Amino acid sequence: MPEAFDVQERWPDLFEGLSERGRWAVVQALAAAWHEGWVPNRDDVELITDDARGAVSPKEFRERAYRAALRDRQNALAGR
C-alpha cells in the first residue's frame, strides 16, 4: 500500500470542475477506502469523480464499477 494518500496530486485533472465540497467528499470517500486496503488507481478515481460531477448516469456508473470489479478480481486471481 502506498505510504501517502495523494490522489489529488497524482491526477489533478480528474478533480477539475468539482466544487470544494464535492472535492472534499470524494477525497474523504477515497481515503476511507484506502485505509481499508484499496490501492488508488486512475480508473477508480475517475469513476468516482465523474459520478460526483454528475458526468455519468447511474446505469453507466454501475456498468463501469462492475467492469472494474471484474478487472480487480482477475488481477487478484492472477497474483497481480
Residue 44 within any structural domain of the chain:
yes
Q: Is residue 62 part of a domain?
A: yes
In a domain, 1, yes or no: no
CA-nearest of 21, 16, 29 to 5 is 29
> What total of structural domains would you count in the chain?
1
Task: Give domain status of residue 59, yes or no.
Answer: yes
pLDDT tens digits, 5-17? 999 999 999 999 9
C-alpha closest to that of 40 among 48, 79, 22, 62: 48
Q: Which of 45, 43, 50 is nearest to 6 (CA)?
A: 45
Position 23 in a domain: yes
* pLDDT tens column, 53-69: 999 999 999 999 999 99
The answer to the question of residue 2 being in a domain is no
pLDDT at 19 over 80: yes
Write down the pTM of the prediction: 0.85
Alpha-carbon distance values, 50 to 38, 45, 64, 66, 73 (Å): 19, 8, 11, 15, 23
Reduced to 3 states (helix: H, G, I; strand: E, B; else coil), residue 39 is coil
Q: Which domain holds residue 59?
A: 7-77
